């Protein structure tokens, strides 16, 4: 700023305020302009009238990108290129420079210098942030350029400064920190640091059903190891085995490992091992894969190589593991580590690997083995001691019965190199197995490749599928499953037995391969049970005709090698024996044959084919064998006469098969592959899929990108009746809903279910009106619920469409396991019932009623179980027909078993108990032979924490408590004792377990006790309420007890510890009465839907003080501290909704829910509650 007006040109007159001098004299700022020293122009100079000195700010120069250099005798100002623009000499304590006034005729007024310096006054903190917000949080540097270069008008000529961080900018603009590549390493030898990562799951399983790949990379040498897994939980065991094996092979110790934070690495089992052997485990930061970039980059390198090989060869996706394994093997021996200029193999083994020829290609080809012939020797690093078995077959045909003119070799596919021997890994087309052999000849002729391509594809239709030309929209790439944008990669080898002759170089190997028998395209549809060639697939329940454009039906995929089989089998054993071919489809469809009383299975199936022209018959195509395998059996091990011929199942008459098919399977399979070995379970699964087609649940579509694909799982259970007899083999296909994301795959999930009190009120009303209660079950109820969201699921395991194995289903209807499925079903059912004239309950959304004159029908819903009763039998029949017209229903007749309750309907009433559950409970916990107890808990008995007692198994204790709580649905006599024992579940002791065992012994003496609802009693609502005082020894809280009756029928009860500490008995009784009032008001509204309007409902209490508190609205010192939520009972007393009456303690029926009694009074109270042992 200057006080010399003559120094300034381009002057703009504008008053900008005042400045104050040292003596506080205010001087006005009258304008601003520019000055020059002849070469440079300085802009933004303020004219201050009366200012005696011209002043520059060094900080202004520095803030605008200039350098200020100060010496003892002077000071210079340089620009960014270190060119001096101003020089000042020291004069006393000031540095001065010369500026002169410029006449208006000076050339600067016409042609100004090109270089300009703009010195701006620093804006205030408030102005800086104000303009920062006005300009949408623009960068401060860019805003200052706008001012200094005059690019916009309206901005104040001030320097905007950023003194702190902007919280909004941090939230909106923050980016990940950069991770520059690091060429150096602290590792000095192999195994100093191992990087590991788990990739997957893959979209397509490998030949050995592997879906994950564990990649392990040595930081020093970049040598890579692979492990292939079926599930993530195998990772810890594989890592431990890898560390032990590699340390022995290399003679070094692993010092550190690095991984991400996945549970496959961060788990107790792995951490315990690492701590034991002294290995440090480093983790990358959350969602920061760059910190584990060594293995992440290796993932990409392996995948790109595998993708290229598979793209060139066109092999099926199931070979991805073999492709990655071969790529890893080759790259370990060929890729150069930049830091040392050596290969990883040389850095580990300290010797160069030998290649016969220059390695130019590394590819798989199913038409041949390799285009460029080469040999890679197996290193000692990966060698394991191996004992070969007695083999049967090899790449060179070594069969014992080989004829003089039979072929001596088999055409095979080269897929990689052996890790256990000096051999190649090849896939034998004839035996369809992977084996290792050194007797291999490679064809390099492109002519041979092209000529054999079509023949090979035709020979293996299932193994090498081609995209169907009839579906133009099917453009899914065979290599999309290796896309790293969404998936990682995972590990490679799994065992399979191959056979070679004694003394040959072929061995039993570890392989990621298992391929099923191909299905023929012949039109013959008969079955030869003796044939060893298996079917490749089994048709589903209702396959469409070939000329129909429908969603392809799922078909049964081959059983993997690990599926449990009925008996041991060799590698040559066919799937026809495993699946038990004669039973699979013949038994359930014998009745379609014209003559099922004679002939063998071939005749039966021939008749069936005539009757069912649309059936997919690939399952019954015979595959001729080129030779027969036999096995000698010692005569001593043969049952019966050795000369007697063997009678196979196919030679039996069809009526025997019909009889066999009439029985249900009595075992529960552990997985779907075990179920597929039993025809009864196959039928059950086909029935389930048939329901999907009937309800039009899904449509097969191409796999969408970026969508969550939910897996499916088979739930296989035997359904039993009340006598524990198997009535049905139930197969349920459910979704793995835990993969759903809220807000994307679902929104609302809540669906109401009937309360157990509502069920008892329903039965009490039916008994009072002498109604017969019926039960219906909706088959596959959730499949009727319409979905609002877009949900995709995988094809069901074991039933994958052979034409579109990589497609997925989009759901139109709900599926069991989906989080929104219960709500979708409830809304569908509710809309339907309301549409046909039913009315929903006022307070119970699961109750539906319909009136016709004086007649009434009531319907209670519990998910897919429906009970209903009516005063007019014709209305029940009408309801049954109404439901069957919309849903597939199972009419179960009169109600006998519902939600674990055994219901016995008699002319004089209804009896409810859980005798079957009591017997199962006693048997489960081994109390069948124990002595019975008279009462569930001794009189005046109290439980304490018992910290000095012996601890007991917490899991067992909780299991008993949970079972007893379930039993209280019909046994109010054990509610209090079970509730007391349940307070000690966190730390149970021997005394607590003894108390629980006494309850079980009491049940042993009263297994058939239940509730009796008589027909000829009233239906008025009556309640009893009671409380102890400070009965809990843990926190001195009281226990509230209550029970509600409809006439003589007990329908509701409770025994629970109060939430507050009561200071007196009256206060505890008052709180208990308020809780009872809540339940009574709910029941009052529920009964209003049945047509009962009740006023002044009586509640019986044995505390006169509590009754007076409810009748007296005055607040005083004895009640002012009680929580306000308990005072609402006063309001209902004043309105006349309820009325409290006094009852003597001996006749207080709610006493049973607050304290234990002796045997006499205990059974006296039970008789008053309506509990008895009613004989059958």
Residue 483 to residues 203, 267, 276, Cα–Cα distance (Å): 10, 28, 38
For residue 620, the 8-state DSSP code is G
| Strands across the sheet containing 224-229 | 224-229, 212-218, 193-199, 256-259, 280-283
Write out pLDDT tens, residues 534-580.
Answer: 333 333 333 333 344 344 444 444 444 444 433 333 333 333 333 33
- Residue 147 sits at φ, ψ, to 5 deg, of -75, -50
Distance CA 661, CA 587 (A): 5
CATH code for the part of the protein at 5-122: 2.40.70
| Integer CA distances (angstroms), 211 to 67, 200, 207, 490, in order | 63, 6, 10, 7
Q: Is the pLDDT of residue 405 over 90?
A: no
pLDDT of residue 59: 75
Q: Does domain 1017-1143 have CATH number 3.30.420.10?
A: yes
**Digit-coded pLDDT (tens) for 1105-1158:** 888 888 776 556 566 557 666 677 888 888 888 899 999 988 889 999 999 999
Helix, strand, coil percentages (3-state) for the chain, rounded to 5, are 30, 20, 50
Helix or strand or coil: residue 62? helix
DSSP 989: B
Rounded distance between C-alpha atoms, residue 1034 and residue 608, angstroms: 73
Distances in Å between the Cα of 144 and the Cα atoms of 40, 422, 542 are 20, 72, 75
pLDDT digits (tens, 9 = 90+) for 201-212: 888 888 888 999
Dihedral angle sign, alpha carbons of residues 451, 452, 453, 457? positive
* Least reliable range by pLDDT among 120-134, 152-166, 472-486, 772-786: 472-486
Q: Among 769, 679, 773, which Cα is nearest to 729's?
A: 679
**In terms of Cα–Cα distance, which of 860, 779, 791 is closest to 821?**
791
pLDDT for 822-862, tens place per residue?
999 999 999 999 999 999 999 899 999 999 888 999 999 99
Name 132's Cβ contacts closer than 8 Å, sequence gap at least 6.
138, 140, 143, 160, 162, 166
Q: Is the pLDDT of residue 997 over 90?
A: yes
Give residue for tokens 């179960």: 892
**HSE value, Cβ hemisphere, 13 Å, CA-based, for 303:** 22
Asked whether the domain spanning 193-459 has the same topology as the one spanning 5-122, the reply is no
Multiple choice CATH, 193-459, 3.40.50.1360, 3.20.20.140, 3.40.50.1820, 3.30.420.10: 3.30.420.10
- How many angstroms separate the Cα of 81 from the Cα of each of 65, 67, 72, 84? 10, 10, 24, 9
- Give the E-state strand segments of 363-467 in sequence order: 412-417, 424-428, 433-437
Q: Exposed, middle or buried: residue 324 (CB in 10 Å: 0-12, 13-18, 19+)?
A: buried
Residue 512 has pLDDT above 50, yes or no: no
Q: Where are the alpha helices (DSSP H) in 791-948?
A: 821-835, 873-886, 915-924
Q: What is the CA radius of gyration of the chain?
A: 43
For CA atoms 370, 372, 377, 379, the dihedral sign is negative
CA 507 to chain centre: 41
Question: Residue 404's pLDDT is what?
Answer: 67
- Where do the H-state alpha helices sit in 220-378? 235-250, 268-277, 293-313, 320-334, 344-349
- Torsion angle (degrees, nearest 10) of CA 477, 483, 486, 488: 130
Q: Is the pTM of this model over 0.85?
A: no
Q: What is the pLDDT of residues 934-984, one digit of tens each?
A: 999 998 888 888 888 899 999 999 999 999 999 999 999 999 999 999 999
- In whole angstroms, give the CA distance from residue 450 to residue 443: 12
Give residue limits of the domains in the chain. Answer: 5-122, 125-167, 193-459, 695-709+721-899, 916-1011, 1017-1143
Q: Would you state the structure tokens that stand for residue 286, as one six-digit string?
A: 């959350």
- What's 1108-1125 look like in SS3? HHHHCCCCCCCCCCCCHH
Residue that is written with structure tokens 């793995």 in the block:
736
**What is the mean pLDDT of the segment spanning 403-420?**
75
């Amino acid at each position: 700023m200057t006080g010399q007006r003559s120094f300034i040109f381009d002057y703009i007159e504008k008053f900008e305020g005042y400045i104050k001098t040292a003596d506080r004299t205010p001087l006005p700022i009258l304008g601003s302009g520019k000055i020059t020293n002849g070469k440079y122009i300085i802009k933004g100079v303020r004219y201050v009238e009366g200012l005696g000195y011209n002043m520059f700010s060094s900080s202004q120069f520095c803030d605008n990108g200039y350098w200020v250099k100060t010496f003892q005798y002077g000071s210079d100002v340089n620009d960014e290129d270190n060119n001096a623009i101003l020089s000042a000499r020291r004069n006393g304590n000031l540095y001065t420079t010369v500026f002169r006034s410029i006449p208006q005729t000076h050339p600067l007024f016409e042609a100004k210098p090109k270089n300009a310096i703009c010195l701006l006054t620093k804006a205030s903190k408030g102005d800086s942030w104000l303009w920062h917000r006005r300009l949408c949080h623009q960068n401060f540097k860019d805003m200052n350029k706008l001012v200094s270069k005059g690019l916009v008008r309206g901005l104040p000529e001030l320097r905007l400064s950023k003194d702190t961080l902007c919280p909004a900018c941090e939230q909106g603009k923050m980016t990940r920190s950069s991770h520059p590549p690091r060429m150096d390493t602290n590792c000095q030898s192999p195994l100093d640091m191992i990087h590991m990562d788990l990739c997957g799951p893959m979209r397509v399983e490998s030949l050995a059903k592997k879906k994950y790949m564990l990649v392990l990379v040595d930081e020093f040498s970049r040598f890579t190891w692979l492990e292939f897994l079926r599930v993530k939980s195998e990772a810890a065991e594989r890592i431990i085995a890898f560390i032990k094996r590699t340390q022995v092979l290399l003679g070094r110790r692993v010092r550190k490992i690095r991984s991400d934070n996945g549970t496959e690495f961060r788990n107790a089992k792995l951490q315990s091992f690492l701590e034991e052997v002294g290995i440090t485990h480093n983790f990358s930061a959350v969602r920061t894969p760059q910190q584990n970039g060594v293995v992440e980059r290796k993932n990409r390198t392996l995948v790109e190589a595998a993708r290229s090989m598979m793209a060139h060869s066109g092999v099926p996706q199931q070979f991805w593991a073999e492709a990655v394994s071969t790529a890893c093997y080759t790259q370990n021996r060929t890729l150069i580590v930049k830091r040392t200029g050596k290969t990883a193999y040389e850095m580990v083994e300290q010797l160069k690997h030998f290649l016969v020829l220059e390695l130019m290609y590394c590819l798989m080809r199913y038409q041949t083995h390799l285009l460029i012939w080469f040999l890679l020797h197996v290193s000692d690093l990966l060698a394991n001691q191996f004992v070969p078995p007695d083999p049967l077959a090899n790449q060179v045909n070594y069969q014992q019965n080989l004829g003089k003119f039979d072929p001596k070799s088999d055409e095979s596919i080269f897929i990689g190199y052996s890790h256990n021997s000096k051999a190649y890994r090849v896939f034998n087309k004839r035996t369809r197995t992977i084996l290792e052999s050194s007797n291999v000849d490679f064809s390099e002729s492109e002519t041979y490749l092209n000529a054999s391509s079509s023949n090979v594809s035709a020979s293996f239709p299932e193994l090498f599928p081609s995209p169907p030309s009839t579906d133009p929209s099917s453009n899914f790439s065979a290599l999309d499953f290796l896309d790293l944008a969404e998936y990682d990669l995972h590990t490679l080898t799994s065992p399979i037995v191959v056979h070679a002759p004694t003394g040959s170089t072929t061995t039993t190997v570890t392989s990621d391969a298992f391929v099923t028998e191909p299905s023929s395209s012949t039109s013959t549809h008969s079955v030869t049970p003796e044939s060893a060639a298996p079917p490749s697939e089994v048709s589903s329940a209702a396959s469409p005709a070939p000329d129909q454009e429908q969603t392809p039906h799922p078909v049964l995929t081959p059983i993997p090698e690990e599926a449990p089989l009925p008996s041991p089998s060799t590698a040559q054993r066919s799937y026809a024996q495993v699946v038990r071919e004669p039973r699979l489809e013949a038994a359930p469809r014998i009745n379609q044959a014209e003559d099922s009383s004679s002939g063998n299975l071939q005749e039966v199936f021939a008749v069936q084919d005539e009757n069912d022209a649309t059936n997919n018959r690939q399952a019954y195509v015979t595959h001729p064998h080129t030779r027969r395998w036999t096995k000698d059996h010692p005569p001593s091990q043969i049952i019966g006469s050795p000369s007697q011929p063997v009678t196979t199942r196919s030679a039996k008459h069809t009526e025997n098969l019909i009889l066999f098919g009439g029985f249900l399977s009595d075992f529960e399979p552990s997985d779907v592959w075990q179920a597929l070995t039993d025809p009864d379970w196959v039928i059950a699964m086909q029935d389930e899929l048939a329901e999907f087609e009937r309800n039009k649940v899904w449509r097969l579509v191409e796999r969408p990108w970026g969508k969550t694909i939910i897996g499916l799982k088979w739930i296989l259970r035997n359904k039993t009746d009340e006598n524990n007899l198997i009535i049905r083999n139930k197969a349920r296909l459910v979704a793995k809903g835990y993969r759903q994301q809220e807000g994307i795959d679902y929104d609302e999930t809540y669906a109401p279910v009937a309360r157990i009190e509502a069920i008892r009120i329903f039965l009490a009303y039916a008994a009072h009106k002498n109604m017969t209660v019926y039960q219906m079950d909706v088959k596959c109820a959730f499949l009727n619920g319409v979905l609002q969201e877009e949900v995709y699921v995988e094809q069901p395991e074991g039933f994958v469409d052979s034409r579109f194995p990589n497609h997925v289903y989009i759901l139109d209807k709900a599926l069991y396991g989906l989080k929104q499925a219960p709500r979708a079903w409830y809304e569908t059912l509710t809309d339907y019932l309301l549409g046909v004239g039913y009315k929903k309950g006022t307070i119970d959304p699961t109750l539906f009623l319909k009136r016709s004159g004086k007649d009434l029908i009531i319907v209670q819903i519990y998910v897919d179980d429906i009970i209903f009763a009516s005063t007019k039998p014709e209305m029940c029949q009408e309801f049954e027909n109404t439901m069957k017209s919309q849903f597939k229903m199972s009419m179960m007749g009169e109600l006998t078993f519902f939600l674990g309750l055994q219901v016995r309907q008699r002319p004089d009433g209804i009896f409810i108990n859980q005798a079957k559950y009591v017997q199962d409970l006693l048997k489960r916990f081994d109390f069948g032979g124990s002595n019975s107890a008279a009462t569930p808990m001794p009189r005046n008995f109290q439980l304490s924490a018992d910290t000095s007692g012996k601890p007991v198994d917490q899991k067992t204790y909780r299991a008993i408590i949970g079972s007893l709580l379930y039993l209280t649905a019909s046994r109010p006599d054990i509610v209090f004792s079970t509730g007391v024992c349940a307070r000690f579940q966190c730390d149970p002791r021997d005394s607590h377990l003894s108390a629980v065992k006494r309850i079980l012994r009491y049940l042993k003496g009263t297994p058939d006790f239940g509730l009796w609802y008589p027909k000829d009693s009233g239906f008025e609502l009556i309640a009893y309420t009671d409380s102890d005082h400070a009965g809990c020894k843990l926190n001195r809280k009281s226990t509230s007890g209550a029970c509600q009756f409809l006439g003589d029928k007990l329908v509701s009860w409770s025994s629970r510890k109060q939430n507050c500490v009561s200071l007196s008995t009256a206060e505890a009784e008052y709180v208990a009465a308020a809780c009872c009032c809540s339940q009574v008001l709910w029941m009052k509204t529920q009964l209003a839907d049945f047509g009962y309007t009740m006023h002044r409902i009586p509640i019986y209490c044995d505390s006169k003080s509590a009754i007076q508190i409810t009748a007296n609205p005055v607040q005083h010192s004895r009640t002012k501290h009680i929580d306000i939520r308990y005072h609402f009972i006063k309001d209902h007393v004043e309105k006349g909704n309820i009325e409290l009456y006094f009852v003597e303690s001996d006749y207080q029926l709610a006493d049973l829910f607050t304290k234990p009694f002796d045997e006499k009074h205990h059974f006296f109270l039970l008789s008053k509650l309506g509990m008895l042992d009613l004989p059958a």
